[in-house]
A and B are shown apart, each in its own frame.
Chain A
Amino acid sequence: MGRFILRRLLEMIPVLLVVSAVTFFMMRLAPGGPFDSERAMAPEVRKNLDAYYGFDKPLLTQYWNFLKNLAKGDLGPSSKYSNRSVNEIIGGAFPVSLELGIWSLLVALVIGVTAGLIASVKPNSALDYGSMSLSMIGICIPTFVMGPILLVLFALKTDWFNASGWFFPRDRILPSLTLGAYYAAYIARMTRGGMLEVLNQDFIRTARAKGAPLMSVLFKHAFRGGILPVISFLGPATAGLLTGSFVVETIFNVPGLGKYFVTAAFNRDYSMVMGTVLFYAVLIILFNLLVDVIQVWLNPKLRFE
């Protein structure tokens, strides 16, 4: 297992190199630059700014310098927030995204798995149809509709929550629900599918025939196999919860990283774009690795190879 993980980690390096090169050169192909604004800049000022950020050097040199700094763990200065380094911005914003992601994941798992289990116990019953229709609705309603609806209902009409911000513990609830609901719907359907497949197998029938109670069959015998599809979904889902929160962060004004990920591109804040893209790339690769390890651990049919 150690060798497996090590190999996967080493494989990361060429992947990241490709990601960084593609991002770097594509970003530079886009028209406009970090210092373009509605007010023209004096050429001397422009020259000095370019020199300060190293934009006056040939592109290849700039890329090479970026890689050299990256090796030292330095993602460079942000040209938009001129007082901050990209490391500092990510360091400040990611914990917020992470917290939002964890709460949303909890929402998604608790609601999703419970609904899926209930549906799978009595397939094709009213209960099954009910929870599956609800989950279909959850998948269909995008976060930018769900967010404002929750906001108007629970923050403006009833005054239970703040409409915006990330100040108090209760400020976590609406954004987490909005972000988690979508994934909960997917997880519910996957749990139902996975459980049904397992519940129809012979060993379950044997267990039931021996008189094992429903709960015991569900959790002792079926759950471990039935939950597998959800586990493999969790890798990309977790990465998605952490990266895809731009909309939710905007609706509820959460000071997370998702916002910078998007606005950096609009601002042509080159080092910020590189920093966030690489950071997310590393996250996604690590989560997928983690999921692979958990899958082998849950499913004896798989081996580290």
Chain B
Amino acid sequence: MRFYYSTIFLFPLFAALLCGCEKRVTRVEDGDRRQILHWGNGAEPEDLDPHTSKGEIEHNIQLALFEGLVAEEPRTASPTNGVAERWVVSEDKKLWTFYLRKNARWSNGDPVTARDFIDSWQRNLTPSLASQYAYMLHVVKNAKAFNEGTLTNFSEVGFKLIDDHTLQIQLESPTPYFLSLILHTSWYPVHLPTLRKHGRVDDRRNRWTRPENFVGNGAFNLKEWRMGSHILVEKSPTYWDAANVKLNKIYFYANESMDSEEKMFRGGQIHLFKECPQAKIDFYRKNKPHLINIAPILSTYFYRINVTRPPMNDKRVRRAMAMAIDRTAIVEKVTRGGQMPAYNLTPPDTAGYNCEAKLVEDIEAARKLLAEAGYPNGENFPKVEILFNTLESHRAIAEALQEMWRKNLNINVTLRNEEWKVYLSSMQQLDYFISRAGWGGDYDDPNTFMDMFVTGGGNNETGWSSKKYDNLIAQAGMIADPVKRFALFQEAEKHLMEEMPIIPIYFYTRPRLIRPSVKGFYPNLLDHHPYKYIYLVPEDSTR
């Protein structure tokens, strides 16, 4: 009996012993030798169709599987030659001619033609596909009308086929960031004959993105897709630049939990993943600085203010609250991930744009403004609430602000957290006073931040409206001259900071954990990392 008794408690040990205790070669070590990258990719991708999926998770995989007219340069992710070998833009910056390389191939061997691109864009703009990012194509003449169903003749849309390897795009207005814009997945070509083989091209349940059916034109080809587990892509022999592709395979692991990803990283299962859990950032910075890479990205953390609700309808109140925050304390004591305090909306150096009209933190001035608004020393200040979606890090920031406003302005705000979808719906219905928000740029240009707050904009969600601001943004959309254009943005952002329908808090960084064996990987604002430049060099030191 005693014998049986002891085995029970040794069961896990025995099981482990059966599996062998020798030091195993980790997946990362094995990958380093065989050029197999193990990429921690966050949640399960919603789909791999570049026209119906929308997030960063999907983008990371699509970047391996497709190539647009232009592609990312590895260091700055700025546009360089993709399928297009060269391009010419007209004097008025409205007519673009792209010359496609003749050796570009789909993974089934078919040549990638100008017709493929135009058919793909037609598909993406087809109303019945209901592509959420089709608006990225709206800069093209008549594309919006076609997408909204008011125009049915696609030949009136500004795409023109010249020959098999040449196409022209006519824009509505000069768009200086056009090349940056067409890096987006919504501009990727898809192989329509394959789509047709597997159903209707405007059906989101078309099974063409399954590994057995898939045809793409990227540096890698889809091999396996195990839902909830991983996606495997392999170097494509038909890719025009295959000779320069160094990686043989990439595994994209689906894992919703950052903590679990961190354990995978420590256990040598993945080379890198996007975001080190906040609680561990300090540890890595102090003890393993060679494994953590903190770099700014094109995203801003801010608070929206519902300007339709008193007392927030008074811009003096909004400004007072925005000025009475110690942002440096927030990024140094609360978030601790190397974030930069934000005194305006657009992240620094967005396509070379740096906002000049920065908000100044000044508690004395804030108190004065509050007194002018009728609340001297915070007296009789009505009940105001901060809304945030349920997450520890948002709560910590909200609590810090609550304390700063109490201390500096003597006003009391309460906190309200809501589950993600409820929070989104509250924000849309303007059912809040102050609400946590974040915005990541879709392309490298101030416009992706600034056009958020035009009157009636889908992402405005503050109730704020200003003729002056609308005009400035509209004007900026008409001008090709980059200097004049940025001057208009400067003026618009200055106006935004005077009116304060939002309170900027900080600019995001990406605290990525990454093995030193990963080479050819450069941090950049868009956080896009073209895989064809990445390679692996085994680490000398042991883990």
Contacts and interface: CB of A to CB of B under 8 A. Distances in A.
Interface of A: 30-33, 36-42, 44-46, 48-49, 52, 77, 80-85, 89, 92-93, 111, 114-115, 118, 121, 127, 131, 134, 150-151, 154-156, 158-167, 170, 173, 177, 250-253, 255-256, 259-260, 263, 266-268
A36 B424 contact: yes
Interface string B462-493: 00000000000000000000000000000000
Ranked 5 nearest A-B pairs via Cβ? A32-B421, A40-B458, A255-B228, A163-B267, A48-B130
A118 B1 contact: yes
Contacts of A118: 1, 4-5
Interface string B250-284: 00011111001101101101000000000000000
Contact of B12 (A121, A177, A256): A177
Given A49-B130, A84-B227, A32 B44 contact: no
B326 interface: no
B505 to A, nearest CB: 16
B19 interface: yes
Contacts of B148: 42, 44
B422 A253 contact: no
B19 A156 contact: no
Interface stretch (B95-103, B204-212, B362-370): B204-212
A156 B253 CA distance: 19
A83 B269 contact: no
A30 B174 CA distance: 44
Nearest to B442: A39
A164 B264 contact: yes
A285 B24 CA distance: 45
A121 B5 CA distance: 12
Contact of B257 (A39, A250, A266): A250
Contact of B424 (A32, A77, A253, A260): A32
Contact of B256 (A31, A52, A170, A259): A259
What band does the interface of chain B fall in when counting residues whose beta carbon is under 8 Å from A?
35 or more
A56 B5 CA distance: 63
A276 B254 CA distance: 21
Contacts of B257: 250-251, 253
Contact of A165 (B44, B135, B227, B253): B253
A49 B531 CA distance: 33
A218 to B, nearest CB: 11
B267 A155 contact: yes
A266 B420 contact: yes
A93 B47 CA distance: 17
B402 to A, nearest CB: 23
A83 B21 contact: no
B458 A173 contact: no
Interface in B422-445: 422, 424-426, 428, 437-439
A121 to B, nearest CB: 7
Contacts of B54: 37, 39
Nearest to A32: B421
Nearest to A251: B260
Contacts of A256: 228
Interface in B29-57: 44, 46-49, 52-54
B419 interface: yes
B308 interface: no
Contacts of A38: 424, 437-439
A182 to B, nearest CB: 15
Contact of B19 (A82, A164, A173, A177): A173
Given A44-B147, A93-B227, A173-B19, A163 B263 contact: yes
A151 B263 contact: yes
Contacts of B428: 36, 40
Contacts of A268: 421
A137 to B, nearest CB: 12
A151 B266 CA distance: 11
Contacts of B15: 173, 177
A82 B132 CA distance: 12
Given A42-B458, A115-B8, A266-B421, A83 B47 contact: yes
Given A92-B227, A253-B255, A259-B228, A77 B260 contact: no
13 contacts: A32-B425, A36-B424, A37-B424, A38-B439, A44-B148, A52-B204, A80-B46, A84-B205, A89-B227, A118-B5, A159-B23, A160-B20, A163-B269
A245 to B, nearest CB: 13
A39 B48 CA distance: 19
A205 B354 CA distance: 91
